[in-house]
Amino acid sequence: MKILANDRISKKGIDILEKAGFDVHCVHVAPQQLENYINQNQIEVLLVRSATKVRKALIDNCPSLRIIGRGGIGMDNIDVAYARKKGLSVINTPGASSISVAELVFAHLFGATRFLHEANRNMPLEGDLHFNTLKKNYSGGRELRGKTLGIIGFGKIGKEVAKIAFGCGMHVIATPPEDDNASVTLSFHNGQHITLDVDIKDKEQVIAQSDYLSLHVPAQSRYLIDSKEIAMMKDGVGIVNTARGGVINESALLEGIESGKVAFAALDVFEKEPTPAISVLMNPKISLSPHIGGATLEAQDRIGIALANQVLASLKKA
């Protein structure tokens, strides 16, 4: 059986599949060539991340496909219902990258509240001549301890974010959880653990009461955060989006930053990805990263292993 890992898979995942006798193709095939590649090579399993789109036309025109696997939690790049209707197995790895995304949220929060994203831009340019000016400019940072973090989308990633927030001494509020479990368990290196409850509120309350907002929702058909929602927020709010582009109206966000309503934003995803708006990229109040939420070595290993094991499990069921 031939497997195409079109958006990479870790060596640990490859090893599991090859040990089971599969021929794994680890190449990236361009969208316009993907159909031909699958058919010419009789690919039966297609493994993707967020970059590759698996739509109805590809599913219809590639009769050899039996399994579509998505490394990660969101499957908005796959026509899941249609694929399953056609008899294909569709799998994903919803928990494998949660820790990585959560840690990136706090990388942005720590950096933005202490102006590190700005300082790292300006120190190489002006640090030798205007050191004291920069020191003055960036001396008004804020601590996270004691502040309220609002989480919109309280699933696997949202819960990992809550764990780190509790460890930082923050008050955590969140929208209703997906699994009706409003608590998180913090585990420590020495085997100790503690379970803490999260304050659950409706979306409007979370938006209005948070010092910082972190978004963890799937792709939306309309903006989740627009001018109306920004107007509801506290003055000086910070907003982090590691979820999906299009969740925030970037024009409204820029207006909020310009007015001072929004102190900063941190974006790992963008409306016009992979060509984000220049006005967003150049704004000094926005901390930026290129959609790397789940892109750690540890997460890649977990994703690869989880995908490989699910492929094997799916074939056993067939």
What pLDDT, in 10s, does the model give residues 136-168? 999 999 999 999 999 999 999 999 999 999 999
Catalytic residue among 35, 103, 255, 273: 273
pLDDT on residue 179: 86
- 260 sits in the region (left: phi over 0; alpha: psi -120 to 50; else beta) called left
* Both tokens assigned to 101: 């995304």
Nearest to 236 by CA among 258, 213, 204, 264: 264
Judged by DSSP in three states, 65 sits in coil
Active site annotation includes 298? no
- Residue 309 and residue 53: Cα distance in Å, rounded? 23
- Residue 34 and residue 7: Cα distance in Å, rounded? 12
Angle at 68 between CA 54 and CA 56, to 5 degrees: 30
- Residue 99 and residue 191: Cα distance in Å, rounded? 18
- Residue 126 and residue 139: Cα distance in Å, rounded? 16
Active site annotation includes 145? no
Active site annotation includes 291? yes
Q: Can you list the domains of the chain with their CATH numbers? A: 2-96+297-317 (3.40.50.720), 98-288 (3.40.50.720)
Instruction: Compute φ and ψ for 250, nearest 5 degrees.
Output: -65, -30
- 124 sits in the region (left: phi over 0; alpha: psi -120 to 50; else beta) called alpha
Residues with pLDDT less than 70, the chain:
318
pLDDT on residue 8: 87
Residue 48 contacts residue 68 (beta carbons within 8 Å): yes
Residue with tokens 């989480």: 151
pLDDT on residue 147: 98
Other CB atoms closer than 10 Å to residue 60's CB: what's the count? 11
- Residue 134 and residue 115: Cα distance in Å, rounded? 11
Q: How many CA atoms lie within 13 A of 309 on its CB side?
A: 9
Catalytic residue among 8, 216, 291, 302: 291
Catalytic residue among 108, 117, 244, 302: 244
Model pTM? 0.91
- 98-113 vs 156-167: helix crossing angle, rounded to 10: 50
